[in-house]
Amino acid sequence: MRRIRNKAFYFLILSFVFLFLAGRMHFGLDKKITVEEAAGINSSQAKLVHSSTILKEEVKTEKLSEQDLIATDSVAITRPVAVTHPGSEAEPPLSRGELNEEYYKVAKVVDGDTIDIIMNGQTERLRLIGINTPETVDPRKPVECFGREASDNAKKLLSGQEVRVEADASQEDRDKYGRLLRYVWRRDGLFYNLEAIKDGFAYEYTYQIPYQYQEDFKAAQKNAEENKLGLWADGACGEKNINSTNVSSSTKSSCVIKGNIGADNIKIYHLPECSYYKQTVVDESKGEKWFCSEAEAIAAGWRKAKNCP
């Protein structure tokens, strides 16, 4: 503080000298000022102005330094410093589309809704979420209608491709067979799960609880049905499967409930309004049956399909 006061006093003296010399020039107090004297005065004025500017800066710096010392005596002050490497600029945050996402090689297309990929150096089998295609590889079941077409379509779209996979928080990580439950995208952005339904090679499939893209998948199936695409085309699976009101000639026209036996010998019946009624085939040689009422089906040991309204 003492140093600041001394410099302030010195600044005031210089200011008075400056004003005195300026007054002499303006009011002509000297009888005669030569060119040399005028040049000397101008030089003195310039020096005074320069000294005054330096002094102001020093006083300002001293005040700031004193304030910093006072502040740091009572509180430790941390000032954030932005570190920038020479020649570089701060990068903007990455958007979702620019994130580094890992892609995996498709090792095998099992069928329309199941594929194998190479993940972390080993083969992982994926069961694709939200879709179901007619069976082609289950040794306990015959090849179902449009199963080969669905499988061939999957091979055309996915064989040899690299895919990005996505889990769904609403679903389990794996199914009871140990398969990862995932959605898959190709590198070019094709969303296979949706594409298979949209083109009529797969059905929308909800397993117990809704999933993330359920509305989109249901809308895609409705559009495929209305436009008779793929398995929804007239006669694609025979009149019995496409027209829910027609049944075999040996069955009464009023007995339209389909009793199906699943892969785990689970007995499930489907009503005409159920989502998978049209693609369900009753194979009486396997013990599957037609029922005339729900009560009859339940009494025989069948339960209602979960995708029925």
What would the pLDDT profile of 197-241 be if each residue is shown by its tens digit?
999 999 999 888 899 999 999 999 999 999 999 989 888 775 444
Please, what's the b/e burial string for 74-89 (b: 16 or more CB within 10 A of its CB; e: otherwise)? eeeeeeeeeeeeeeee
Over residues 60-87, the mean pLDDT reads: 42
Q: Is the pLDDT of residue 96 over 60?
A: no
Over residues 238-263, the mean pLDDT reads: 56
Between CA 185 and CA 58 the distance in angstroms is 66
Contacts of 57 (CB under 8 A, 6+ apart): none
Between CA 197 and CA 221 the distance in angstroms is 6
Contacts of 25 (CB under 8 A, 6+ apart): 33, 38, 41
Domain ranges of the chain: 2-74, 100-232, 238-304
Over residues 76-91, the mean pLDDT reads: 38
Q: Is the pLDDT of residue 254 over 70?
A: no
Rounded to 10 degrees, the C-alpha dihedral 245/248/249/252 comes to: -60
Between CA 49 and CA 75 the distance in angstroms is 39
Contacts of 40 (CB under 8 A, 6+ apart): none
Between CA 40 and CA 34 the distance in angstroms is 10
Q: Is the pLDDT of residue 2 over 70?
A: no
Secondary element (H or E) of residue 57: helix 35-74
Of 124, 135, 144, 204, the active-site residue reads: 135
Q: Is the pLDDT of residue 108 over 90?
A: yes
**Please, are residues 269 and 236 in contact by the beta-carbon 8 Å criterion?**
no
Over residues 10-34, the mean pLDDT reads: 61
Q: Is the pLDDT of residue 33 over 50?
A: no
Of 127, 149, 182, 195, the active-site residue reads: 127
**Please, are residues 110 and 116 in contact by the beta-carbon 8 Å criterion?**
yes
Per this entry, what is the length of the chain? 309
Q: Is the pLDDT of residue 260 over 70?
A: yes
| The predicted structure's pLDDT at residue 95 | 33
| The predicted structure's pLDDT at residue 58 | 54
User: Residue 3 catalytic?
Assistant: no
Over residues 257-275, the mean pLDDT reads: 85
Secondary element (H or E) of residue 55: helix 35-74
Between CA 32 and CA 214 the distance in angstroms is 101
Between CA 286 and CA 260 the distance in angstroms is 9
Over residues 5-20, the mean pLDDT reads: 68
β-pairing verdict for 114-119 and 289-291: unpaired
Biggest alpha carbon distance in the chain? 140
Q: Is the pLDDT of residue 153 over 80?
A: yes
User: Residue 179 catalytic?
Assistant: yes
| The predicted structure's pLDDT at residue 56 | 54
| The predicted structure's pLDDT at residue 68 | 46
Q: Which residue has the higher pLDDT, 237 or 52?
A: 237
| The predicted structure's pLDDT at residue 135 | 77
What is the CA 276 to chain-centroid distance, rounded?
31
| The predicted structure's pLDDT at residue 59 | 47
- Please say whether the dihedral angle defined by the alpha carbons of residues 217, 221, 227 and 232, taken in this order, is positive or negative: positive
Between CA 134 and CA 234 the distance in angstroms is 17
User: Residue 135 catalytic?
Assistant: yes
Contacts of 207 (CB under 8 A, 6+ apart): 171, 306
Q: Which residue has the higher pLDDT, 55 or 205?
A: 205
* CATH of 100-232 among 2.40.128.520, 1.20.120.450, 2.40.50.140, 2.40.50.90: 2.40.50.90
- Mean per-residue pLDDT over the chain, rounded: 74
Secondary element (H or E) of residue 61: helix 35-74
Of 166, 179, 225, 288, the active-site residue reads: 179
Q: Is the pLDDT of residue 178 over 80?
A: yes
Percentage of the chain beyond pLDDT 90 is 34
Between CA 309 and CA 307 the distance in angstroms is 7
- Which has the minimum average pLDDT: 61-65, 106-110, 204-208? 61-65
Over residues 170-192, the mean pLDDT reads: 95
Percentage of the chain beyond pLDDT 70 is 61
Tell me if the pTM is above 0.75: no
